Amino acid sequence: VRIGVPAETAPGERRVALVPTHVEQLVARGLRVICEPGAGLGAWYRDDDYRAAGAELGEPWAADIVLTVTPPGPSQVERLAPGTVLIGFLAPATQGEQIQALRKAGVHAFAVEAVPRISRAQSMDALSSQASVAGYRAALLAAEKLPRFLPMLTTAAGTVPPASVLVLGAGVAGLQALATAKRLGARTTGYDVRPEVADQVRSVGATWLDLGVTAEGEGGYARDLTAEERASQQQRLTDAVSDYDAVITTAAVPGGRAPTLVTAEAVRAMRPGSVVVDLAGESGGNCELTVPGEETVVHDVTITAPLNLPSECAVHASDLYSRNLVELLGLLLDDEGRLSLDTDDEIVASARVTAKEPARDEEDD
Ligand code: NAD
């Protein structure tokens, strides 16, 4: 079995799907790995590192299994032979047409976003590994954009109080942002609509902000709020947000638009020089004034909504993602290293997005 590792072509994408350490492990299991020249350069892995690990340099799209970070473009899909296995972030919730194109091309496409979040799949959970990286970088970004120190400092010129950081949405990214801001010395507070995360927030040294709105959904996720709950939450947050120097927002609802948590009114009430780091830019943003992918200054508050923070931490983001893919590959290969798709396996069945029929409204389009 040949495993292909293409160079990512999405603008700004620096990650690579398989890193040299894992190439070595796969080659030791009798697999061949074909890397596109330069595939790892964005993540600071050289072609020589891949060669030394046992990879060949060549055309990755002709392999039996192709590993990517971002979804392939139309010209890349054309290069995939029927029966090829493709694994990557394929955005099945929003890229229905792309998935349909892969299905038509006879490709077995596995979207890492669709790996179920069950205990057995934890080591394959690429959403979590990349969210951790994003949360860490979000805290650093808040620290960098704030015109203040994060830690309390006692100097000959006076004592500086610690900055206060509020994190809205305490999932994987939010908890990592809280932990990182705490390590930098900030006073941290966390909020979520799922009350069960209160203990996790406290476990990373933060105070739990209780606004009296709970919205547990299925599978450990939050559900959409009703209009009434949303209004109540926005009002309470508007009152709370002005107490903080930095607000990091990470709230998401699976497949839906990100909830608006920080209104324009709330931003206006923040102190000059405050910062909002909005990690939900890709799904519209958690701040009413967010411009996805941009940094703006409104009412003297810096609002920044980076779209791909994991790419900015490309070495470790790639290492963790690559590990997730190797674990997932373990489910798709038999003991002799041959491809064997066990469609009865819950993880294989859920992640294989080309096996499912398109939703009815997609067909109607
Ligand atoms: P996510 O990215 O979908 O959302 C981020 C956070 O935003 C969530 O904690 C969510 O509750 C919160 N949120 C949504 N709407 C909100 C609103 N209106 N106001 C405030 N907060 C809001 O979530 P995620 O980080 O990918 O994961 C969420 C949870 O899934 C985890 O905390 C965990 O419980 C579960 N999970 C389980 C596993 C596993 O068992 N293998 C792995 C990862 C995550």
Give the C-alpha separation, 257 to 341, whole Å: 33
pLDDT tens per residue, range 307-344: 999 999 999 999 999 999 999 999 999 988 888 988 89
Q: What is d(CA 143, CA 190) in angstroms, rounded to the nearest whole number?
A: 17
Q: What was the pLDDT predicted at 335? A: 85
> What value does the mean pLDDT take over residues 136-149?
98
Place of tokens 């209104």: 263
Taking the centre of ligand 1 as the mean of its atom positions, its distance from the CA of residue 196, in whole angstroms, is 11
Q: Which amino acid is at 300?
A: D
Q: Is the pLDDT of residue 356 over 90?
A: no
pLDDT at 12: 95
Coil, strand, or helix at residue 158? strand
Going through 148-273 in order, the beta strands assigned E by DSSP cover 153-155, 158-160, 164-168, 187-191, 207-208, 246-249
pLDDT of residue 266 exceeding 80: yes
Q: How far is the CA of 175 from the centre of ligand 1 (A)?
A: 10
Query: Could you report the predicted ipTM of this complex, rounded to two decimals?
Result: 0.94
pLDDT, mean of residues 4-27: 97
- Name residue, tokens 């990517």: 68
In whole angstroms, give the CA distance from residue 39 to residue 49.
11
Distance CA 13, CA 15 (A): 6
pLDDT band at 362 (very low <50, low <70, confident <90, very high): very low
Cα four-point dihedral sign 48, 50, 53, 56? negative
Question: Do residues 222 and 192 make contact, with C-beta atoms less than 8 angstroms apart?
Answer: yes
Q: Which segment of 125-139, 148-162, 339-353 scores lowest on mean pLDDT? A: 339-353
Sheet harboring 2-5: ordered strands across? 56-57, 32-35, 2-5, 65-67, 85-88, 108-111
> Residue whose CA is closest, atom 8 of ligand 1?
171
110 pLDDT tier (thresholds 50, 70, 90): very high
C-alpha 221 – ligand 1 centre gap (Å) = 5
pLDDT (0 to 100) of residue 23: 98
Mutation probe of ligand 1 site: the residue of 89, 136, 193, 214 with most atoms within 8 A of C-beta? 193
Q: Whose CA is nearest to atom 24 of ligand 1?
A: 171
pLDDT at 54 over 80: yes
CA atoms within 13 A on the CB side of 51: 7
Q: What is the pLDDT of residues 267-300, one digit of tens each?
A: 999 999 999 999 999 999 999 999 999 999 999 9
Assign 179 a pLDDT band (cuts: 50, 70, 90).
very high
Q: By C-alpha distance, which of 246, 301, 240 is closest to 273?
A: 301
Name the pLDDT band for 176 (thresholds 50, 70, 90): very high
Ligand 1 geometric centre to CA of 318 (Å): 22
Q: Report the pLDDT value the prediction gives residue 212, as an integer from 0 to 100.
A: 84
Active-site residue set = 117, 122, 125, 128, 221
Q: Whose CA is nearest to atom 9 of ligand 1?
A: 171
* pLDDT top residue among 69 and 254: 69
